Structure 1
Amino acid sequence: MKKSLCMLLMTFFAALLFADTYPVKPGEKIMFLGDSITHSSYYTGLLQLMLDSRGVPGTNVMNSGIAGGKTTGGLRRIQHDVIDRNPDRVFILFGMNDVGRGELYRTDSPENFKQRKAGLDKFSENLKKIIRRLEKEKITPVLMTPTAYDQYQKDGKSDRCNEPGLSDIAQIVRATAKEENLDLIELHPFMTDALKKHPEMRLCGNDLVHPTATGHTLMTALIAEQIGLAGSVAEVTVGKDGKTVSKFAEISELQITPGKISFRYAPERMAVALTGKFADVEKIYPFSEKFNREILKITSLAEGSYKLYANGAELGSFTAADFAKGIDLSRLDTPNRKRAEKAFNAVKEIRSINSTLRYLEQCRQIAFGSKFFTGTPDPKNFDAVTETLEKWRESYGPKWPYREYYGNVIDSYRKNAPKEAEYFDALENTRIQLEKDTRPEAYIITVEKIR
C-alpha cells in the first residue's frame, strides 16, 4: 500500500503545474477556510508543528472551518472571519457539504442529474466569488481538492454514495486553479487511493466523512509536501582527516582519538515525533522518509562495532559500515527526540482551543442565516445571536433528531462567547510556546569503539 501511494505521489508531483511553488515565508499567516473537516481538525495544528520544527520563524496557521460549512457560508463570513484576521494566504477546502449524500448520487434520474448540476454550478460560482474577494484584499488564495468520502468499507456501512460528487468537485477545483493561475493542493486522489487500498486503516471515522488522527496526519503530509516542506532535518558527514560536511546543522569541538570521535552537534531543525494513531500514517505514507531524516555519517571508522552516545547517554551500538551508510538520529532517543515528543502535545491543545472558537462562529452563522434574525449581523452582538439561536432551535420542534446536539452547541456559545478574547490569547500563547519547544538543542555526540 505504501509503495502504491508513493508511486501515485511521484507521478502526480512530477506533473503538478503550480502557479508559483515556494515554501512558507517567515512570519506568514496561513488560514484554512472550510467545513467541519477543518473546524475540529488536527491537520492545522500538525502543520503548525511541522513549520515550527522546520525552523520557519513566526508562522501562524489559522483555522476558519465551520461544521456543516459550504462555499455559500464561507462567502457570507469572509469579511469578519477571514479578511479581518489578516491572513497572507488562504487555503480553501470545501466540497463535502456542497454535494449531497445518499439518493442524489446513488440513483440516476433526470431530477437527480438536475440537482447535481445545480449544486456543482453553485459551488463553482461561490468558489470564484471567494477568490475575487481575497484577491481584492491582496490575500493569496490556494485551492484544495476535497478529502474523500469513505464508501469503500467492507462492513456494509458504505451505502451513502457521495464520492462521485466529490470527484466532480475536485475537477472543478482543478479547472478553476488552472483558469485563475492559482496554486493547487491535491488531497482527493491520494486519500481516495488510500481508502480503496487500505480500508482497514479507517482513515475516516464511523460517519465515513471526518478523517481520523491518521487521516489528518496524511492530510498534513500531503499539504506539507506540496508547499515545499519535504526534505531532511539535518545531514552531517565526518570524513577522513576530520573534514566535515553539514546541512541544517553545525559541527564544532571535533575531537578524534584512536577508537573515539566526539563533537558538538547543533541542528537547526527538529524531527516531528508522531505518536499513537498519528504514527500509523507510516503504514501508507513514508512520513519519516519524507520529513524526518536526520542523518549522521562517519566514513573514517576502522572496521568493528561502536557505541553511539548523546551527552553521555547511550543511544545504541552500530558497525563502522552502519556509520558509513548513515545513522538516522531521528529514530533514536536523543535529547531532541524528547523535546519533539513534548512539542507534539501542543497539537491536541491547538485543536481543543480552535474547536471552541469555531463553535462560536458556527453559532453566529446559524443565527445570521436564520429567518429569525433581524438587524445587521454583528459578531459581537451576543444577545441577538443567543435569542435567535433559541428561536431557530425551537422552530424544529421537540422531536428534531439534532435538538440535543444543537442545544449543547448553543450552551457552549452562552458559556464561551464572553471569553472569546481569552481563548484567542490562549491559542496565541500555545503557538508561541510551540515555536520555543521546537527549537532543537545542541548536544555532544560521541562514537566509541567497543573493545
Structure 2
Amino acid sequence: MRSIICKLVFAFLIVGSGVAKSQTLQWDSTFRPTKYKEQVLKFKEDTIRKNNFVFLGNSITAGTDWGKLLNIDNAKQRGISGDITFGVLERLQDIIDSKPTKIFILIGINDVSRNIPDSIILDNYHKILKRIVKGSPKTKIYFNTLLPVNAAFEKFKNHYNKDQHILYLNEQIRKLKYKNLTIIDLYPQFLDENNHLKSAYTKDGLHLNNEGYEVWKNVIIKGKYLN
C-alpha cells in the first residue's frame, strides 16, 4: 500500500510574544503495528462461525481471554495491539463474511495518540458500522465508548493530555444510530474523582488490569449484552 502522510496545520499563539505561528501535525493512515500481518494470518486460521461473539479492537481488547472472562465458549478475539481504525477497516471483511451473531468494538485511542483528526476517526466509525450493517445485517453490534487514560503513570505520553479528543469522540459515539447497534458507555465506569482512568483498574495508565476487566465484564453482564 502506498504510504500517505497527511498534514494538518493549526495556528497557535506563543504566550508573551503576541506572534501567531503554525504547528504541523502529521498523521499516517497506513500505519500498521509491527505484528499486524502476522496477527491477521493467525486470525484467518481461527475461523469465525455464525454463533460467535467477536471482540474487535486494539491491545485493550486483546488484553484478556474473553471466553474465560465471560464464561462463554463462543468468543473470538480480534484485538491487535497498537491498531487504529484504518487497520480495523482493512481486516474487517473477514469478520463480516463470517456473519457472527455479535461484534463488540472498542477502537480509537491509538488514532488519538497518532494525531489522526477526530473527524477522520468518526468517519471511520461510520464506515465500520455501515459495512457491518450492509454485509452482515443480522449481526448485533456493540460499540464501546473510549476509556479514559491516566497520565500519572508516565508510560504512554502520546496518549496523555488529549482528554478533549476522548470526550468529543465519546459524545459522538453516543449519538451513533444504526440497525442492530447498541452503545456501551464504558467511559464513566472507569473514572476516578479527577476524571482520569482509575489507578485501581490499570497497570500503566492505558491498559486494564484484572480489576479493570472485571468492571468491563460487569457492564456486559448487567447490560445483558450476551443474551
Q: Which residue of the partner structure matches residue 127 of structure 2?
A: 129
Question: 1:83 offset after TM fit, Å?
Answer: 2.2
Q: What does 1:172-321 align with in structure 2 at a 5 Å threshold? A: 172-176=172-176, 179-180=177-178, 182-193=181-192, 196=195, 199-201=198-200, 203-206=201-204, 208-227=205-224
Displacement of 1:96 in angstroms is 1.1
Spell out, residue by residue over 1:78-130, the C-alpha distance to the aligned partner (whole angstroms, 9 max, x if none): 112x12443111111112112127xxxxxxxxxxxxx6xx6211111111111
| Structure number with higher helix proportion | 1
Q: Report the secondary structure of 2:221's partner residue.
A: helix
CA-CA distance at 1:66 after TM superposition: 0.7
**Cα pair 2:191 2:197 within 8 Å, conserved:** no
The 1:43–1:167 alpha-carbon spacing in structure 2 relative to 1, beyond 3 Å, is farther
Deviation readout 1:43-65 (Å, 9 max, x if unpaired): 55312x1xx4xxxxxx5111111
State the AA in 2 paired with 1:211: L
Counting only pairs closer than 5 Å after superposition, residues 24-423 of structure 1 correspond to structure 2 as 28-43=51-66, 45-47=68-70, 49=71, 52=72, 60-80=74-94, 82-100=95-113, 119-136=117-134, 137-138=136-137, 139-151=139-151, 153=152, 160-176=160-176, 179-180=177-178, 182-193=181-192, 196=195, 199-201=198-200, 203-206=201-204, 208-227=205-224
Pair 216,67 (structure 1): closer, same or farther in 2 beyond 3 Å? same
Q: CA RMSD in A?
A: 2.9
Q: Is the 8 A contact 1:33 1:93 kept in 2?
A: yes
Taking structure 1 as the reference length, the TM-score comes to 0.35
- 5+ residue gaps, structure 2, are 1-49
Distance 1:198 1:162, change over 3 A: closer
Q: Deviations over 1:356-398 (max 9, x none)?
A: xxxxxxxxxxxxxxxxxxxxxxxxxxxxxxxxxxxxxxxxxxx
Give 1:31's aligned amino acid: V
Change (3 A) 1:195 1:215: farther
In structure 2, C-alpha distance between the alignment counterparts of 1:75 and 1:156, rounded to whole Å = 30
CA distance 1:164–1:134, change in 2 (3 Å) = same
Q: Cα offset for 1:180?
A: 2.4
> Residues 33 and 65 of structure 1 are in contact (CA less than 8 Å); yes or no, is this contact kept in structure 2?
yes
Between the two structures, name the one with larger relative contact order (CA 8 Å, sep ≥ 6): 1
Per the alignment, in what secondary structure is the counterpart of residue 92 of structure 1? Answer: strand
Structure 1 residue 40 displacement after superposition: 2.8
Residue 239 of structure 1: aligned partner: none
Question: How far apart in 2 are the matches of 1:73 and 1:198?
Answer: 25
Aligned to 1:336: none
Once the two structures are superposed, the pairs formed by residues 435-450 of structure 1 within 5 Å of their partners are none
Equivalents in 1 of 2:51, 2:193: separation in Å?
Answer: 31
Matched AA of 2:202? C
CA offsets 1:201-238 (integer angstroms, 9 cap, x no match): 2x1122x11101111111111122122579xxxxxxxx
Largest Rg, 1 or 2 = 1
User: Number of matched residues?
Assistant: 173
Q: How many Å separate the matches in 1 of 2:63 and 2:154?
A: 27
Check the 8 A contact 1:150/1:195 in 2, yes or no: no
Structure 1 residue ranges without an equivalent (≥5)? 1-26, 53-58, 102-114, 231-451
Superposed CA offset, 1:189-210 (max 9, x none)? 1112478589552x1122x111
| CA distances 1:321-360 after superposition (whole Å, capped 9, x unpaired) | xxxxxxxxxxxxxxxxxxxxxxxxxxxxxxxxxxxxxxxx
Q: Percent identity?
A: 26
Distance in 1 (alpha carbons) for counterparts of 2:197 and 2:125: 32
